Amino acid sequence: MNESNDASPMHTLNPSEQTPQDIYKLLVGSVVPRPIAFVSSMDAKGVRNLAPFSFFTVASANPPIVCFCPMVRGVGSSNLPSSKDTLRNIIATREFVVNIVSEEFAEKMNACSAELPPEVDEFEVSGLTPLASELVRPPRVAESHVQMECRLEQIVHVSAEPLGGSLVLGEVLRFHVRESLLENFRIDPEKLHAIGRMAGSTYARTTDRFEMMRPK
């Protein structure tokens, strides 16, 4: 394990004295790598939506709860990106699917991050394959090796300002896991090929790993 010998002084920053854009850069450069929730949703009329979110984690295992945070990037109804479509859809239908992103379809995932009008179906834009879910209306992404059908548990609206966001918590109703990856409920990372988000346009692979035993 590499040890840092950087003894340069610490630079202290007060968020209230910085721009939101600079604070965003500090956060996404520090909290790395971040897993990606590739969220499929559907509006009340049945229009499909698919968007990636890197503010994503697990909140509970009993019951199984996952959470992600759509961010506010624009102001006004004419400047709402696909992330806001996702939030609107979940508020309207209370259903969504979290699909885990693997390296082999990373470029198609990235295509879904474009700011597209609400009537555009990102499955069609990206060429990814919709797969019917068992308990919720939004489809799963067939190319994903792990898919989680979710029902909305709670939304915490943190901030409506640009670069603010909402915390969406959903209970996992169904796990769908590729059989070749699964053994005794453990998922093989060598076969999952999951990727993570760094800052800017940089992503990370999960191939360089090490182990440490937890103290008893």
**pLDDT above 50: residue 131:** yes
**CA–CA distance, 152 with 66 (Å, rounded to integer):** 10
Report pLDDT for 1.
65
* Structure tokens belonging to residue 183: 């053994």
User: Residue 102 forms beta bridges with which residues?
Assistant: 194
**Parallel/antiparallel/unpaired status of strands 95-100 and 48-53:** unpaired
Quick: pLDDT tens for 65-111.
999 999 987 654 444 444 589 999 999 999 999 999 999 999 999 99
Q: What pLDDT score was predicted for residue 177?
A: 98
CB 65 within 8 A of CB 171: yes
pLDDT score recorded for residue 74:
63
> Strand locations in 30-184, DSSP E?
34-35, 37-42, 48-53, 56-61, 64-68, 95-100, 130-131, 140-141, 146-157, 166-177, 182-183
Q: For residue range 51-67, what is the model confidence (pLDDT) as tens digits?
A: 999 999 999 999 999 99
H-only helix segments in 94-146: 106-111, 122-126
Q: Nearest CA to 101 among 134, 62, 140, 43?
A: 140
Distance CA(149)–CA(173), nearest Å, equals 6
Entry pTM: 0.93
Kindly report the CATH number that applies to the domain delimited by 15-204.
Answer: 2.30.110.10
Measured CA angle at 112 (ends 111, 116), to 5 deg: 105
Residues 183-194: what's their mean pLDDT?
A: 97
Domain ranges in the chain? 15-204
116: left (phi over 0), alpha (psi -120 to 50) or beta: beta
